[in-house]
Amino acid sequence: MRGRVLIVAGSDSGGGAGIQADIKTVTALGGFAMTAVTALTAQNTQGVSGIHDVPADFVAEQMRAVLGDLGADCIKIGMLHRADVIETVCKVLDVHAPGVPIVCDPVMVAKGGASLLDAAALHALKHALIPRATLLTPNVPEAERLSGIAIKGPDDALHAARTLATLGPKAILMKGGHLDGPTVQDFLLEGECHIDVFEHARIETRHTHGTGCTTASAVACGIAQGLSVRDAVIRARRYVLEAIRTAPGYGGGHGPLNHAHTVVLPGA
């Protein structure tokens, strides 16, 4: 049940999101994490102060090196903020990973509000990458930008998810954590009509940095280990909620999660 997950995403120097959170998550859930870094960011719990691009051809070289030797049971795709990187990633997937499930987390905006997606890349994301996805995992701001629908409540969120389904992903996990209210609702759409609604009481905390990256990687790990999309989502939500509940409290802004809550220390 090991499960090999190739993570194609940007880094987070603060360790709460991006590649760093992805590796922690996959490892904590018993999978094997590999990476292709798409961008380096200088950030902490209070925001992003800089982004350093990785050339598209080197992103492709990282992917080919991993897929040609180690292989992958699922591919998690996060921050791809330029059109040329998105197009290059898609070409590598078609040649070197045909049929491998893809979890696409459309990272566009950091928790602190900084834009992480070049405007020119939006068309490539919608029409090149998302149609290849086994699962698309947008939050409310991302779904609004992708669908053009203003989301004020659960009905709007479900409408936006149905609209995104027309882009071609096999399933969509529409996350509702950005909406107001004491209860958080997430919607899982599979196929044209099957909908699961997952609810949990909101945890009042500022320590939610990296929840999107963590959720997508947790689902990707589950799929890599042979779980159905629905079962992978259920396990991922349980993992993330406990990671939020037991967050260590670091930083002066949106703090990181406790990705290691599944780890039992020797002598504990």
Mean pLDDT of 89-108: 96
Q: What is the per-residue pLDDT across 215-230, written as a single tens digit (0 to 9) for each?
A: 999 999 999 999 999 9
Structure pTM? 0.96
Domain boundaries, the chain: 4-262
- Whether 111 shows a pLDDT value over 60: the answer reads no
pLDDT of residue 12: 96
Q: What is the per-residue pLDDT across 67-79, written as a single tens digit (0 to 9) for each?
A: 999 999 999 999 8
> Which residues are identified as catalytic?
175, 208, 210-213
Q: Report residue 114's pLDDT band, with 50, 70 and 90 as the boundaries.
A: low
Q: Report residue 1's pLDDT band, with 50, 70 and 90 as the boundaries.
A: low
Mean pLDDT of 47-64: 95
Mean pLDDT of 127-155: 95
- Whether 199 shows a pLDDT value over 80: the answer reads yes
Q: Which residues are CB-neighbours of 45 under 8 A, at least 6 positions away? A: 14, 16, 209, 250, 251, 252, 253, 254, 255, 256
Mean pLDDT of 183-212: 93
Mean pLDDT of 31-45: 96
Q: Report residue 119's pLDDT band, with 50, 70 and 90 as the boundaries.
A: confident
CATH 3.90.870.30 describes domain 4-262: no
- Residue at token pair 């071609």: 168
- Whether 268 shows a pLDDT value over 80: the answer reads no
